[in-house]
Structure 1
Amino acid sequence: MKRSVWGGVAVFAIVCNAAGAMGQEAPADNTDQLEEIVVTGSVRQQRRFDVSYAVNSLSQADILRLAPKSMTDLISAVPGIHVEQSGGEVQNITRVRGIPTDRGYLYYQQDGLPLYHELDGFFFNQGDGMNRFDLMTERLEVVRGGPAPIFASAAAAIANVVTVTGDQVARGKAQLTLGSTGLYRLDAVQSGPISDSTTFAIGGFYRYHEGYRDNGFPSDRGGQIRGNIKHEFDNGYVKVSGQFTDDHNLFYLSAPTADPRNTAVSLDPYIDYHKGTLHTPELRAATLRYRDGAGVLQSVQGDLANGRHMRFTNIGIDYQGAFADWTLSAKAGYTSGRNHFDALYTTTNPVDAASYAAGFLARSQAAFGSGVARMGYAFAGTGGAGIYDPARDSGLVVQAQYRSVTADFYSGQSDVSLTRKFETGFGSHDVRFGLYGALWGLDNFALYQNYLMQVRTQPRLLDLAAYNAGGTAVGFVTDKGALNVAASLNSGGYDGRLFAFYGADTWDVTDRLRIDVGLRHERYSYDGYGRLTGTADLGDKTTLADDATRAFTGAVGTQSLDVTATNWTVGGNFDLTDHFGIYARTSRLEVPPVASITSTYPTPSLAASNARMHEVGVKASFGRTYLYLTGFYTKFDPLNASFTAFNPQTGRSDQTINFIGNAENKGVEADGKWQITDALSLAGAFTYQEPNYIDFSSNTGADGSRANGKQIVREPKIFFNIQPTFNIPIEEDNLSLYGRYDYVSKRYTDFFNNTALPSYGYFTVGATYDHGDWSVQVVGDNITNAKGMTEGNTAGDRLAGQGVPTAIFGRTIFGRNYRLMLSRKW
């Protein structure tokens, strides 16, 4: 069998329509991997077996069987991308082959275009922050390394969400999901013909979720609707699509798990490891104050239950047409929306309550007079009368930071390309030339305020009061629980413009040898502004909390920036037989400064970063049994690992630490499936890597060389999942039993690897029973209630860790929970 190169608009439409046909989804176990088609990262759609890079495709059947809790949870099924999915449904972390950023330059697209051009806006990202799966998700294709820098901007990997497109057969499906964590969700989709040449598809979800932790208020509520209308011509088609998302999602923070005075003492009696949280209903009516540029005192009302409220609309158009030997593709999309983000972030580890109070005695005596005899705690807002004795509780107090952030954003993007296949005397060339352009920007406002609270789930806010000898409060360190009013204040915005040219050539030298090359050149232009801030005393003499707040000065700074970036890739694929092949690829990714840098004062480093990505692979495919094995090496140069650490004296992240150096990662990843019998299969994904810092230095007094050779922060050396599946035919019905085991090896909270995040593993089990058009599915996550921690306290850990060998403060994985899904197709 010779390798087939799929081409033409008609074939593309057939592939998409067949894959998106509701009611005719083939079970994932019946997929012939040798014939699996992918469209992401190549000149035109082709078989996965034929491409010279690492790519996975998860069909809708795969997604429904995996029953992911979030888009990031779904990404965890593929190798080479380490995920931290403990933040909730959104704002989770992905790291691609050790690239040392919280997104790993994993660039999301929807039908080949991003919803927002840049990886991160202001406290939102176009990853799981804007992309949610539902029954309108036909499949997800994930490209790691390889040609990703050619077909997307600043991309070390691409996750392309391909949506359902209708065909001439009317189909529909609805699914009800109920969860043991107070989850209620309804998904639905309908597609079919409008006329002989026009079809439609529409679907979405609505969800209400109490949450995985005991917040005292709902964690997630809202949903989205997506749809499209497609009209086919004799030589192609045009498709118009739209999306509206309106969703609230709580962001889970880190929490203490052991007493820092004696790490052998668990804090489980106060904060349950799996369900405990510092979220509190007392912050459903938070008042955050600041002084504006005219010197007028302003206030913002916060509600922690608002969570990350993402509301946006996207419209798009996609045209493809064949003209003689050329295929023209033109896509455009526009997104407009707002992110209103209320969250509670941790700042410092818990401290001994008595020692902490004593540390404010001298300052309180200076502020409130020599009559101050002692310091003590009271419940916030009681005027010091509601006495609280920490010794009757954990003996600890902790501070956390309420963040109120808004960003109004827009993003318009378009991609126009021409594709043609040329036959030559020495093989054939399939070439694609394209232009990509984007206009995007936002206006933002951020106000942070620090609070003092108990160490327990749903803690009460605390006032630290100065008492006289008679027991009367004569002053306060706090202000109704607020420890630092307006600890941080920012406002600004930017507009970004990008014009990019790219080209790619797939050269079929013979029917078994293929060589790929690609080039992308980008020109960026940014304009930004920022409202400057200074220090101000709000003038309340009864409290120390407002003595040194941040305030707008009335001045506005502006900045412009023009930069370019050039990316390239070269790869080759050779089929040894019809079932065995090898491939190799080298790529260069240049990442320019992000647009938000133009609204930051003082201006941080403007240096671009470069990633050199190399990979070699071996592949074997025999129907439903397959194995893809890839060795990779990535060098990130330069790595600007500078950060601002939290300063407990000021309540702000104003301790700047500059680390400049390189990062490298070498390893191997594998994903495969063994179809043992018609009924039994074993699938999985495995990654082993060596993510290290090299050539580190610092100009702020820290010894950067101590990080050399150390493991990159929060990057494991090993992570994998194993998924057995057993199908049991029952007359005309089918029962499918399956499981999954996930494992993540040891990581570290800090550059110097002082504090470890222990390895962990957990089990998921599930069963699906299909009866005609009906299906019922039960899934249990972390059924053994295994313990695991994905990160420490990021505000203060990165330099020195937590002062202990093993982390005692961090964001833990969710505990045991179950979901029941009932669906019907028609």
Structure 2
Amino acid sequence: MKTLFTKGMLASAVAVALAQPTMAQEESKQPTSDNTEVIIVSGTPGGAGIRKIDASFAVTNIDAGDIGRLAPKSTADLFKAIPGVWVESSGGESGANVFVRGFPGGGDAPFLTIAMDGSPIYPAPTLSFLENSQLFRIDETIQMVEGLRGGPNPVVSNGQPGLTANFRLKRGSDTTEALAKYTVSDYGLNRVDVVASGALDDDLYYMVGGYIKSSQGIRDAGFNSEQGNQFTINITKVFDNGELNLYTRQTDDRGTWYLPTPLNVEGIDANYTQIGPLNRQATITYGADNVTESFDFGDGRGWDGHVSGGSLKLDLADGWALIDRFNITKGAANTFGLVPNGSAVTVGDVADNGESATGAVTGVVYDADTPIQQIGRWVVLKDIESFTNDLAVSKSWDSVDASFGIYSATTKAEDWWSLGNHAYHVLVPGGEALNGIECNNSAEGCGWNYDINSVGDASTMAFYATSTWYYNADLSIDAGIRRENHEVNYTVDEGLDGVITKAVQYDETKTSWTLGANYALTDNSGVFMRMNRGYKMPYFDDFRDNFGAFSAGNDLIQEVTQGELGYKFMNEEVQFFATAFTNEVKGDTFVRRPGAPAEILTNEAYGVELDGRYSHDSGFSLSVNATIQETEITASATNEGNEAQRQPGWQVRVTPSYGFEIGDMFATVYGTLSAVDDRFGNNENTVVLDGYEKVDVGFTVEPTESLRIQFSVDNLTDEQGITEGDPRNPDSPNGRYIMPRSMQLSATYMFF
């Protein structure tokens, strides 16, 4: 007799939610829990819980222990462990590019939503110089992340048709626990993490934690270019019929924005970065009146703000339940970068005397053969604010569950940019600007300039309904529909002269839908299938970059249609999902750089995702995730028939680990082999980015029950892989290397 857990699922959402993990000690030995009881909350109305084995969609769950072993260098870096996702995290802790299932894109993360405890942290997945991972930092307060691709995503929450990465915070329990962790590295990292949890009163629980850190960066900037701190409070009150949860996460964290570097200049490799003591302070010129102002470009790219919110879950009896999730985000997400413009040249090519130029700081004379490059001093000041609320009411009958929800969101962004201010710099790490080159000292600079002052407000109101019919103990069929209205008001002053050059008043409504089925083959295995259609609604930068297309009647909405067919197997030793997918994205608009014309295209893709893990009582475990996909641009004025840019045809990650006893101590050795295929660096398919392999290794030992020591090496062989070319100048021989080899050592002490 097969287990029918899902019947009455929505009505029991509160009970499931109350069973979420507390801040118990992270597992260091092999898990003993039954994989079939893994609970996920992504992709369900209001975040109601469901067993992973019963879901009619694919979700990858990564718990705190896995996160610790993966030791991601950034939030986006963690998403490499999710199949169907291609991550370019070589830009540093902020500024990643994330692609999903072959969906088109020119950078940033247009089809990624990061959620905290089920609420989107910012409704717009991508604005220029801002993608969701810039607003989120991983620390010891995270219990688990769930990565949902496609599935019912287009109907629930904010209607993201791509990837939703839902981070679940640790919670307190009746047991008081605490953890302190100190981490150092070979690149000067000093980091302290702390977290504590327990009970404040009967049925009132807390979790508090955070970190403080400083380093010169994996690519040594010559000063402490990466600094930050974060503090999180999570309070939960349990009632007889539900719970109230409130949290706030205060973050002030920044780091160098790593940019593409010349690939054809001797001595320039993965350790090179443009920023350094000789150029971190610079004066730029902007606006119609050629105003000058100095900035510290060592501030890089980061987030100074808060993400706060909570949830209310109530069992209303008679099969009714209510879940309300809300979130407020507010702060500054500024960017200060030294951005290359075009190919490397030599001093002799551009010097006023044709022979030499002089360092603007040191006075050193550089001869005609010295490699140099135009570097732009870019300043982006961005203040953002958002509020989201997702209210879902559900009812359970004998063979049918139904839910009805209202999702609302307001989004605001105020931008001040000065892009350009190009000047020739010496091509050495942190190379200085030069005198003796005419354009270096002119108000116009050596390249193009683009300055704006803009403000935008957006509001979204969506009504959705979902229902699941349990035909029998083996078969369930679910469907959902969403009606969403999206409004945008946006104005832009291009040129910083006080004249509004673009103004937008936008109001569009779309209907999304999903239809799925789940069939249990046995208690531990099943198959599922799904079709859905969703939309990526436009935000502020879409209108600025595509104002001509919008003025001509294009609504700038991207329509996404997807199909999935999957197999799953889960028991005490194995978790395995295989998902075949196909999709079509219509109406994508690609802009090579701000101010450049847009390309509007349609993209199709199909492929297979593999997501598996095997754990044995002997201490051995093996995790595998792989993606094989084909992409094609099916409608384009110039690139029809080409592959989608910057996405590999295949990628695979294999992570073995082995736990064993050393005397009275327990130890684990582990490693990860990552391999990716060649990619095209542009939609024209004229730039090929070679595939590469990368090896990471690590070792943990526990001298006592409370003490754990971990040593890890990222990129053991110091592979010089390339994640992307130069998105602003695709034909220039520039590219972004993966991070060079680095090592970390940490000591964790747990209090019970």
**Shorter-chain TM-score: what band?**
over 0.9
Residue 540 (structure 1) aligns with: none
Q: 1:337-736 alignment to 2 at 5 Å?
A: 337-357=331-351, 374-381=353-360, 387-391=365-369, 393=370, 396-423=371-398, 428-448=399-419, 449-465=421-437, 476-479=438-441, 483-484=445-446, 487-533=449-495, 552=497, 554-555=499-500, 557-597=502-542, 602-605=547-550, 606-641=555-590, 643-644=591-592, 656=597, 658-675=598-615, 678-697=618-637, 704=638, 707-730=639-662, 733-736=665-668
Other-structure match for 1:278:
274
Q: Is the 8 A contact 2:29 2:619 kept in 1?
A: no
Question: Is 1:792 aligned with 2:742?
Answer: no
2:61 match: 57
Shift of the 382–192 alpha-carbon distance from structure 1 to 2, 3 Å rule, reads closer
Distance 1:626 1:601 in 2: 44
Match of 1:40 in 2: 42
Given that 2:347 and 2:355 are in contact with CA atoms closer than 8 Å, whether structure 1 keeps it comes out as: no
Aligned pairs for 1:124-143 (under 5 A) are 124-126=130-132, 128-143=133-148
1:314 paired to 2:289: no
Deviations 1:265-305 (A, max 9, x none): xx12xx2x12112223233221112235xx4x422221111
Is the contact made by 1:72 and 1:85 (CA closer than 8 Å) also made in structure 2?
yes
User: Quick one: percent identity of the two aligned structures?
Assistant: 26
What amino acid is aligned across from residue 227 of structure 2 in structure 1?
R
Task: In structure 2, give the amino acid aligned to 1:527.
Answer: N
Stretches of structure 2 that go unaligned for 5 or more consecutive residues are: none
Write the letter of the residue equivalent to 2:601: G
3-state SS in 2 of match to 1:452: strand
Cα deviation per residue 1:564-604 (whole Å; 9 max; x = unaligned)?
22211111110111222111111111122213445568554
Contact 2:359 2:366 in 1 (8 A): no
Q: Does 1:232 align with 2:232?
A: no
Judging changes above 3 Å, is the alpha-carbon distance between structure 1 residues 553 and 37 closer, same or farther for their aligned structure 2 residues? closer
Asked if structure 1 preserves the Cα contact closer than 8 Å seen for 2:566 and 2:579, the reply is: yes
3-state SS of the aligned residue for 1:168? coil
Query: Distance in 1 between the 2:563 and 2:284 partners?
Result: 49
CA distance in 1, matches of 2:58, 2:70: 21
Q: Distance in 2 between matches of 1:50 and 1:554?
A: 57
Offset of residue 676 of structure 1: 5.2
- Which residue identity is paired with 1:594? Y
Structure-2-length-normalised TM-score: 0.93
Distance 1:167 1:713 in 2: 48
> What is the CA–CA distance in structure 1 between the aligned matches of 2:78 and 2:129, rounded to whole Å?
22
**What's the offset of the Cα at 1:555?**
4.5
Question: Shift of the alpha carbon at 1:517?
Answer: 0.9
Q: Secondary structure of the equivalent of 1:277? A: coil
Question: What is the CA–CA distance in structure 1 between the aligned matches of 2:641 and 2:740, rounded to whole Å?
Answer: 34
Q: Give, in angstroms, the shift of residue 334 of structure 1.
A: 1.7
Does the 8 A contact of 1:492 with 1:599 survive in 2? Answer: no
- CA gap of 1:179–1:196, structure 2 versus 1, over 3 A, is same
Alpha-carbon distance, 1:632 to partner = 0.7
Distance 1:517 1:250, change over 3 A: same
CA distance in 1, matches of 2:719, 2:71: 19
User: Does residue 737 of structure 2 align to residue 812 of structure 1?
Assistant: yes
Q: Deviations over 1:770-789 (max 9, x none)?
A: 22111111111111111200
Partner Cα distance (2:707, 2:4) in 1: 38
C-alpha displacement of 1:486 = 7.8
1:37-116 equivalence runs, <5 A: 37-43=39-45, 44-101=48-105, 102=107, 103-116=109-122
CA 1:644–1:157: 2 relative to 1, 3 Å: closer
> What SS does structure 1 have at the residue aligned with 2:53?
helix
Amino acid at match of 2:242: G
Distance 1:602 1:625, change over 3 A: closer
Report the equivalent of 2:298. Answer: 305
Equivalent residue letter for 1:776: I
Aligned residue for 2:36, secondary structure, equals: helix
Please give the secondary structure, in 2, of the residue aligned with 1:552: coil
Counterpart of 2:77 in 1: which secondary structure? helix
Do the aligned residues in 2 keep the contact of 1:764 with 1:782 (CA within 8 Å)? yes
- Work out the CA distance in 1 between the residues paired with 2:66 and 2:613: 13
Aligned counterparts of 2:720 and 2:257: Cα–Cα separation in 1: 20
Is this contact kept in 1: 2:525–2:570, CA < 8 A?
yes
Distance 1:173-1:83 versus aligned 2 partners, 3 A rule: same
> What residue is the counterpart of 1:649 in the other structure?
none
1:678 offset after TM fit, Å? 2.3
Write the distance in 2 (CA, Å) between the matches of 1:566 and 1:780: 48
Aligned to 1:824: 749
Partner of 2:298: helix, strand, or coil? helix
Letter in 2 for 1:525: E
Residues 28/565 of structure 1: CA separation in 2 closer, same or farther (3 Å cut):
farther
Q: Secondary structure at the match of 2:373?
A: strand
Query: Per-residue deviation at 1:523?
Result: 0.5
Amino acid corresponding to residue 247 of structure 2 in structure 1: S
Matched, 1:742 2:674: yes
Per-residue CA distance 1:653-683 (angstroms, 9 max, x = gap) = 6553x53332111111101123355222221
By relative contact order (CA 8 Å, sep 6+), the higher-ranking structure is 2
Name the CA shift for 1:581/1:343 in 2 (closer, same or farther; >3 Å): same
Tell me by how many angstroms 1:149 deviates. Answer: 1.1
Cα distance change of structure 1 residues 430 and 216 upon mapping to structure 2, 3 Å threshold:
same
**Is the Cα–Cα contact under 8 Å of residues 597 and 603 in structure 1 kept in the other structure?**
no
Q: Distance in 2 between matches of 1:177 and 1:45?
A: 35
Q: Give the structure 2 partner of residue 180 of structure 1.
A: 186
Answer whether contact 1:182 1:209 (CA < 8 A) is retained: yes
What letter corresponds to residue 510 of structure 2 in structure 1? A
CA–CA distance in structure 2, aligned partners of residues 486 and 668 of structure 1: 43
In structure 2, relative to structure 1, the CA distance for the partners of 1:793 and 1:121 (3 Å cut) is closer
**1:171-320 superposed matches below 5 A:** 171-259=177-265, 267-268=266-267, 271=268, 273-291=269-287, 295=289, 297-320=290-313
**1:212 partner SS:** coil
Contact 1:237/1:320 (8 A) holds in 2: yes
What is the Cα deviation at residue 823 of structure 1?
A: 0.4
- Using the alignment, how far apart are the partners of 1:252 and 1:217 within structure 2? 15
- Normalising to structure 1: TM-score of the pair? 0.85
Q: In the alignment, is the contact (CA less than 8 A) between 1:453 and 1:481 conserved in 2? A: no
Asked whether the 8 Å contact 1:567–1:587 carries over to 2, the reply is yes
* CA–CA distance in structure 2, aligned partners of residues 154 and 38 of structure 1: 17
- Does the aligned pair in 1 maintain the 2:643–2:685 contact within 8 Å? yes
Change (3 A) 1:600 1:82: closer
CA pair 256-759 structure 1, distance change in 2 beyond 3 A:
same
Give the length in aligned residue pairs: 735
* Higher alpha-carbon deviation: 553-562 or 215-224: 553-562
> SS in structure 1 opposite 2:278?
helix
Task: Give me the whole-angstrom Cα distance separating, in 1, the residues matched to 2:548 and 2:323.
Answer: 40
How far residue 644 of structure 1 moved from its aligned partner, in angstroms, is: 4.3
Q: 1:26 to 1:776 in 2, by over 3 A?
A: closer
Using the TM superposition, give the Cα deviation of residue 483 of structure 1 relative to its aligned residue in structure 2, in angstroms. Answer: 3.0
Once residues 18 and 316 of structure 2 are traced to their aligned partners in structure 1, the CA distance between those partners, rounded to angstroms, is 19
For 2:218 and 2:30, the matched residues in 1 are separated by 29
> Post-superposition shift, 1:421?
1.1
Moved more, 130-139 or 622-631: 622-631
